Structure 1
Amino acid sequence: PVPYPISLIGAEGDVDRALQTARESGLVGVEDVLPSIHDLESVGAVRDAVAAALSDYQGQILTLREQIVEDIAAAEDIAAAAAAHEAGIQVSQGARCGVCRRGLWSRACYAFACGHACHGDCLVRLVTPELPAALQGAVAELCARIRTMEADADELEERGGEVAPRDAARLGELRDKLAGRVAADCPICGYLAISMVDKPLVDDAKAREW
């Protein structure tokens, strides 16, 4: 069907009314009305409307250009952060866990580009309660599967055997998946720490025990 503002031109020759109706409807623009204008006098009547439309389009283009620049900058920041995450991180021999403050090298640990590091189990205990319920269950399942596979691997090695490459690769995949759930950001100075700023240091149950 022909849009109503355009039908006004055909039926009544009322260009001004057609433009006003087009603006109010928000469904068609000046560019939709122009093809229906055939005489020079009517074209002159829409000069201001065309100029305003062009100015509006220019503003939209500038806004999109600014958004593109911001998106490119954000993409570059993400790429830089990913590169920093993948780069080697030096951790001193006497480093301590940022959560329990005990020696870092006593068990499996995570190190972050910011310089903080913590035991894997300490990280899981700290981060898991802050995750959505569905992810909490996924983390618990991953930890259980990793513990089982690690125990089986240790037992096999104690008997002088070797872990099959396929099993080693699967264990690595599970560890990577767990890292994606709990170690995507530093819990000491990242978003998690910021979200926990307003939380009490001692929960109500422990406070009542004291």
Structure 2
Amino acid sequence: MVTSRPAFWSIRSWSCMRKLSIWPCKWMWTWPSHVLTCLRMMRELRKKLWLKIARHVVQEEKDVKKAMNCLSSCNLLKIEDILPFFPDFVTIDHFKEAICSSLEEYNQHIDELKQEMEEATESAKRIREDIQEMRNKYGVVENQEKCAACDFPLLNRPFYLFLCGHMFHYDCLFLEVTPHLSTLQAD
């Protein structure tokens, strides 16, 4: 657990975090080696803080309008995040605008996903057609053909014939390509 605050934090925000029992990890303060992780943690921390504020406004102050203002002043929270804090007797009129905008966002996201799926389906269809077309292609290898790498007769060992006309023994091609692969690809 972190016991002292970093220099760039104000005393007020640090004491607020302590009161709300929101403790970041020790490694969060190392900069810049964990910049993305730090930003993600800060975002999560901010969301947690806003959720605690919203819970307090709804459950302690019982002020629906103030809670909706809290929702509009923070882009990290959505209506579905704070709905569980409201009692069952609250009417939906207070949430109508927030629910509608949330549903519009979800519809837009669904439309984007549908478009991506259609593009992926079309791409897969083209790839299947290309594969089918490749299955019908063939090449003729004469018995005097030689490997482009070692210049030995091709038909003595397993080989690859490329559409461009180049021909390689399997092991020769492997030796040519391996030095150009990353360590991850080579494994």
* TM-score, normalising length: structure 2: 0.49
Q: Which has the higher helix share?
A: 1
Q: Greater relative contact order: 1 or 2 (C-alpha under 8 angstroms, separation 6 or more)?
A: 1
